[in-house]
Amino acid sequence: MQIQVKCSCGEEKCPEWAIVELQGVVEVQPSFQGTVQNLEIGQLCRPSSQENYTFTVGYHELSGSKVPLKKPFVVLKKTRHLDANQNGDSKSSSVDLEVVGIIRHRILFKSRPKALISKPQPLVKEKVSAGGSVAPDQLA
Amino acid sequence: MEQKQSGCTGGAEAVLNLQPNSSISITYHPHFGPHDDLILLEIDDKLLPDVLHQRVTLRGQPNEDAVLCTQSKTYSIKFVGNSNSVFLIPPVDQSALHEHPQYSDEKDDDQRVVASVIKVAPGNMELVEVAPRLDKLKLLLLENPFTSEEVSEKEELEGMEEQKTNLFKWNDLIDRVQASDDELRSGLRALSAVEIDGYWRIVDEKYMGTILNMLLHNSVLNDWSLDALGEDEVVGVLESDGFPRTLGLHCLQVYGSKVDEGVGSCVWKLDERRLCIHFAREILKDGKRKMESFMEEWIQKIPDGMQASFDMLEGEVLTEKFGVETWVRAFSVSSLPSNPAARFSMLFQERPKWEWKDLQPYIRDLTVPGLSSEGLLLKYTRKTQPNSDAEPVFSAR
């Protein structure tokens, strides 16, 4: 079997995707489990002209920076086709792979989070009151 | 309770181009989910143009681990897990992801710049250059070697629908063998395979011997020089002797090399070493022989003007001493697997201990990307050297 890796975007126009990477897991409050779509995870902020970033998730603030990937990632999308053959009783599937994007950078948060207990930011407060807050767990 | 409206108004672009002193809300995408159909593949910068210009393919049967092939190289694909949370953010215009757009309820005045996460990637795929898996090619082609019977049958079956079982065209091989196009081509060359009526075949050794003998016989009759054989003449005479053109030409390719591509006919020179090896194999195919009788028969079989020397048989025969007698027997490197672990296992089955000069011809063709021949020896053998002057001896690990 042979699958050609397709790419309709070409070299110049391959859309760039982004990665925000942090240690540990972000846990959603139990009431939102399974319905996280559209929910806010946190606020990504670039406080200066340097490539340093903060990511505020609930009461926690992470500090990190934008780093180039040593080797880029391509984002592949796999599509499975079911081809029924003529007599229709046996089915075989074929797979298409297409490059839909490329990733050259990630914004990496590898340090432990700082707690924002003494002075929570207004935005976080608002979000908490809206009930849509998520809190990082086991950040280590 | 006000739920924040978050389309993907900013997307990856907004994250990557975030201006100093500004911030952006990172949300879960309206279609957030496991999305197992989205795969991250780490690609070396030098391979990237091949990928983006659709010059790479994945090859393998459903029961095999897929490999990725470029025009010239083969890579195995490994999954590398990542225990971090990798939030994957697509660009805004990823129509591929939204099969059912559903943003009609979005209110313009409430729109803020957000970037949404489509999935948390559990890791990525990584490529590791590997040797092509060509042992299977040999197995496939040996299922149905081309023999002299087929030539006579073909005449009888003229015009009838032929049965093509266990025969493979180029595209069938690409489907079955995990190797790049270039590697597959050189694998076919190494096996002395030939394309007959669109199918890639190995020609039965006995039949090849018959064609070669006929060629040598004709060269004596017609007073041809083995260093300058006119292609048209040689192939033409062989054809009149009942050997198809393709096979006459194949015989020249296997036992000779082109010396001159003239405007009209090419000129070929038979290769002394390949001919000598052929006759040695022919003598030894029924079993081992005493050195003296082997040498006598061998030298006698070799065409006039060619010189046989025992060194030519490196990687083809092994010698053994029993008392005062030395015996020779066939043990050809081409009959051994190309996978290093299997190769060394066969070698140590043959002999528990090898001296370097005997071992070298049986491993010099092994290539493992990223591993030198010293590395191979360290990995698969134990080296012992009784004292610093003695020859090192290699045994199984």
Which residue, A32, A3, A16, A111, is CA-closest to B1? A32
Per residue in B139-178, pLDDT (tens digit) is 999 999 999 888 877 666 555 555 567 899 999 999 999 9
Report the run of H or E that residue B254 belongs to, with start and end. Answer: helix B245-255
Please report, for chain A, how many H helices and E strands are present, in that order. 1, 9
Q: Does A130 sit within 8 Å of B2, measured CB to CB? A: yes
The rounded distance, in Å, linking the Cα atoms of B362 and B338 is: 10
The rounded distance, in Å, linking the Cα atoms of A90 and B132 is: 33
**pLDDT exceeds cutoff 80 at B32:** yes
| Per-residue model confidence (pLDDT) at position B162 | 56
**pLDDT exceeds cutoff 50 at B5:** no
Interface of A with B in 98-127 (CB under 8 A): 98-103, 105-107
**Hey, what amino acid is at B186?**
S
| Per-residue model confidence (pLDDT) at position B150 | 85
**pLDDT exceeds cutoff 60 at B96:** no
**pLDDT exceeds cutoff 50 at A4:** yes
**Hey, what amino acid is at B222?**
N
Once rounded to an integer, what is the mean pLDDT over residues B293-304? Answer: 95
What is the 8-class DSSP label of residue B392?
A: P
**pLDDT exceeds cutoff 80 at A96:** yes
Lowest mean pLDDT among B25-39, B89-103, B136-150, B305-319: B89-103
Among A36, A42, A73, the residue with its CB nearest the CB of B124 is A73
**pLDDT exceeds cutoff 80 at B17:** yes
Closest residue of chain A to B25, computed from CA coordinates: A43
| Per-residue model confidence (pLDDT) at position B369 | 84
The share of chain B scoring above pLDDT 90, in percent, equals 77
**pLDDT exceeds cutoff 90 at B42:** yes
Q: Does A40 sit within 8 Å of B4, measured CB to CB? A: yes
| Per-residue model confidence (pLDDT) at position B106 | 44
| Per-residue model confidence (pLDDT) at position A82 | 77
What pLDDT band is residue A86 in, cutting at 50, 70 and 90?
low
Once rounded to an integer, what is the mean pLDDT over residues A107-116? Answer: 91
**pLDDT exceeds cutoff 60 at A119:** no
Lookup: tokens for B16: 């990557």
CB proximity A135 to B under 8 Å: no
The rounded distance, in Å, linking the Cα atoms of B375 and B340 is: 11
Which residue, B196, B129, B72, B158, is CA-closest to B369? B129
What is the 8-class DSSP label of residue B168?
A: B
| Per-residue model confidence (pLDDT) at position B394 | 95
Judging contacts by C-beta atoms under 8 Å, the chain B residues touching residue A60 are none
* Residue A22 · residue A133 · CB < 8 Å: no
Once rounded to an integer, what is the mean pLDDT over residues A97-112? Answer: 94
* Residue A98 · residue A6 · CB < 8 Å: yes
Among A11, A40, A55, the residue with its CB nearest the CB of B53 is A11
Judging contacts by C-beta atoms under 8 Å, the chain A residues touching residue B56 are 4-5
Give the CA dihedral B350, B355, B356, B358, nearest 10 degrees.
Answer: -50
Which residue, B28, B105, B107, B4, is CA-closest to A35? B28
| Per-residue model confidence (pLDDT) at position A129 | 33
ipTM of the predicted structure?
Answer: 0.81
**Hey, what amino acid is at A54?**
T
Per residue in B356-392, pLDDT (tens digit) is 989 999 999 888 888 888 899 999 999 998 888 888 8
What pLDDT band is residue A135 in, cutting at 50, 70 and 90?
very low
| Per-residue model confidence (pLDDT) at position B12 | 93
Q: Does A18 sit within 8 Å of B15, measured CB to CB? A: yes
What is the 8-class DSSP label of residue B385?
A: -
The rounded distance, in Å, linking the Cα atoms of B30 and B94 is: 13
Once rounded to an integer, what is the mean pLDDT over residues B72-85? Answer: 95
The residue with greater pLDDT, B275 or B8, is B275
Q: Does A73 sit within 8 Å of B43, measured CB to CB? A: yes
Domain annotation for chain B: domains and CATH numbers: 11-130 (no CATH), 135-153+165-272 (no CATH), 336-397 (1.10.10)
The rounded distance, in Å, linking the Cα atoms of B185 and B194 is: 11
pTM over 0.95: no
The share of chain B scoring above pLDDT 70, in percent, equals 89
Per residue in B305-349, pLDDT (tens digit) is 899 999 999 999 999 999 999 999 999 999 999 889 999 999 999
The rounded distance, in Å, linking the Cα atoms of B9 and A38 is: 12
Judging contacts by C-beta atoms under 8 Å, the chain A residues touching residue B2 are 130
* Residue A10 CB neighbours (<10 A): 11
